[in-house]
Structure 1
């Protein structure tokens, strides 16, 4: 049964004396008012209020909360007349501490935090720099991206609100920052700063610097509509022309093979240019692009792997494997699939494909560029009506709506269908080397063959599914 504590009275506090121990010496007398509040009467005669509680976040070796002791102040002091901290004030302070504990706030930690605020250590710039360190350690982003995120704040945000205390910043202050960035016309900076403001204030909330984030009000903010960036892609009916120009290109053989490889795999530039031979499994017809590659001395950014910083699988079609067999004649003696000219230890230029396209008399700003290959493939695959939209998006390595699920499954999800998908795209390109065939025509030919009993082993599972859908309709 819990011990019942009789509350103190002013009379008892005023008349309280130190204890006398068995040796006749004066020692502290500890008077309890209940719920952690004590009056300590010292041998000197000074009477001090203390709040004592168990710190749940700080356990001892036995797994039990350590004692937290907060000195509230003196009730009376030797040589000082009158009451300094009354019994009523001490109880009010106790009520505040108990409320903090009930909300999982450690009172001692809170007091230290408030002391730091008084020292101006919690201005916006200081908190942002602390967040930036944590972001760099946990995000997995590239170093250049991490560094750029801070430069944006140094240029556009700190001059406006950097010196303001974190708990004094209001939504209107953040709106002022974003309006300033918007007037500069840097839409990409605007979006990134807006997202990172939310992350910084969430960090401040998690640290106990502020009770809630003023950045939550930015979510519904209205901004000028930005023009979406489009990469030029060649219309599919110009594929025969493309292959004709590529065949007659005067570039070195490896450059032409690299361009053809890019069209068939529609991978991103850094994913291809830094590829290593050990990433390819020809028996399983799989190219596994790692999240991060081993950096090569003297080759900036050679550590870059899959764009989304998660391992990405690219099924290899028969045509792509044939291309790689030719590539091996030029680079098979080294580790790099696409090395630089005359140096197997370096990598092909990032602009190789676009330079090739320019040499083929294409305008890479208005007609087609390397990134446009992705749009061409995506458009043809969608027009065929043969493939699940999610399978296409996974092969494009686009993030899904559920980013947590995507992080664990995107590299292998729909893999069987993606193998068929990649073979279909290569076959479609072959079909268009001399004469244009639309994705729909190519699909109908496959379905017609299936209706006529012609078995296509390459598309067996796909045709079976499509025929079932047609019969059902």
Structure 2
């Protein structure tokens, strides 16, 4: 067997083309002995041994031997894998070649036909990623809010199932998850790509507890753990949320008080300043999360960034704002309803838009209240660990989460009331005295 290279040959129009390597196969049909003795050329990563009618045995440098049939479809040269030798002997490889040729004669692409047949078999066997994912979701959703459960399923349906849904779950690799995640990232939704990756990981963990008809685990390992999504995706540029300086807060607070836009937006900004929760946590707030007698706002884990419950002690000023919001409420369970659909929360950009109209475009965001609160509370002498707990910055594991979310609650109550009193003083322009820690 020889290998020839043609360099810079010319076509009739005078153009030259790139180097082309053509491998010539011997014209004699293979025998069982030839297949058994076939070895890869040491100088090449793979060597092909031709049989007849486009069938050939490919031997790779590592010793593996695989059958392929070469054909043309739609004007393009293609090949179909027919199995590994000696598991697929010469006689069966020829029969499979003939069967694929019949599919081609019928006008179909043998590769596509094989793929569709495999998918149909997998669906019938009930072990595709999509089927296992739906089984997982049916049990998982009972422990989560209906809204969050619907969101997770919708993300799987839109982003995961089109890429890996029809694959046997055993065959899904980290590379397939990377393909899926990068497709989501390509439309500018990097955060969603990470969330879908995490949901897929939970599906694999569930599948490890399920056995097939033969009594074997659906999966023995979780490919989502082979690679972190942060490695597969483009690095995230660190975001520094715009926020005013501490000395600018009095003017901002007075402008919020005099805001001429919708009353719900004005009250939302006031509550955000008093509680310094994240924007998503504020606009998604529901009345059943508030215990007004205990003067607490308990945000459930599924609505928190760290996925653990969070307590916001309510100052007297915050309770007054809640009373004003309650007078505006409709039939929805949400504090801040959307303008058109009252079953959906206020838009994420409502507060940002209000701040822009007040002259703070590029200078302040809803998230900026958190940074300002952290800075001022530190300046007033409050303890760093208590401030961080109230900001819900600490990551907490499952064992300690139930304890930590209520840690230092008496101290946090005192701090939140002093924070609200401090905002009143800032708004009124009174002289501020630093807090003296005990």
Question: Fold conserved (TM > 0.5)?
Answer: yes
Aligned equivalent of 2:129: 124
Alignment CA distance shift 1:362-1:183 (3 Å) = closer
Shift of 1:122: 0.9
In 2, Cα distance between equivalents of 1:182 and 1:275:
31
Aligned equivalent of 2:165: 162
Q: Cα deviation per residue 1:346-399 (whole Å; 9 max; x = unaligned)? A: 999557644543442332xx222333322321332244452142x223323445
- Cα RMSD (Å) of the superposition? 4.4
Shift of 1:305: 7.9
In 2, Cα distance between equivalents of 1:329 and 1:132:
35
Aligned equivalent of 1:400: 395
CA contact (8 A) 2:292 2:319 kept: no
CA contact (8 A) 1:240 1:435 kept: yes
Instruction: Confirm whether residue 260 of structure 1 aligns to residue 270 of structure 2.
Output: yes
Alignment CA distance shift 1:355-1:152 (3 Å) = closer
Give aligned pairs, total.
307
Q: Residues 275-354 of structure 1 correspond to what in structure 2 (within 5 A)?
A: 276=287, 279-281=290-292, 286-289=295-298, 291=300, 312-321=310-319, 327=324, 353-354=351-352
Q: Cα deviation per residue 1:166-224 (whole Å; 9 max; x = unaligned)? A: 22333333333334434443211221122122222221212121222233212384432
In 2, Cα distance between equivalents of 1:233 and 1:256:
18
Alignment CA distance shift 1:120-1:133 (3 Å) = same
Q: Residues 437-448 of structure 1 correspond to what in structure 2 (within 5 A)?
A: 442-443=433-434, 446-447=435-436
In 2, Cα distance between equivalents of 1:348 and 1:122:
38
Aligned equivalent of 1:213: 222
Shift of 1:152: 3.2
Instruction: Confirm whether residue 246 of structure 1 aligns to residue 256 of structure 2.
Output: yes
Shift of 1:435: 5.3
5+ residue gaps in structure 2?
A: 1-120, 211-216
Shift of 1:163: 2.5
Alignment CA distance shift 1:229-1:151 (3 Å) = farther
Aligned equivalent of 1:416: 410
CA contact (8 A) 2:200 2:224 kept: yes
Shift of 1:235: 2.2
CA contact (8 A) 2:283 2:346 kept: no
CA contact (8 A) 1:271 1:307 kept: no
Aligned equivalent of 1:387: 383
Alignment CA distance shift 1:130-1:380 (3 Å) = same
In 1, Cα distance between equivalents of 2:163 and 2:363:
42
In 1, Cα distance between equivalents of 2:209 and 2:289:
43
For the residue of structure 2 that corresponds to 1:157, the secondary structure is helix
In 1, Cα distance between equivalents of 2:343 and 2:249:
32
Alignment CA distance shift 1:417-1:185 (3 Å) = same
CA contact (8 A) 1:387 1:421 kept: no
Q: Cα deviation per residue 1:388-442 (whole Å; 9 max; x = unaligned)? A: 42x2233234453323322x234422111102211232233234336598xxx85
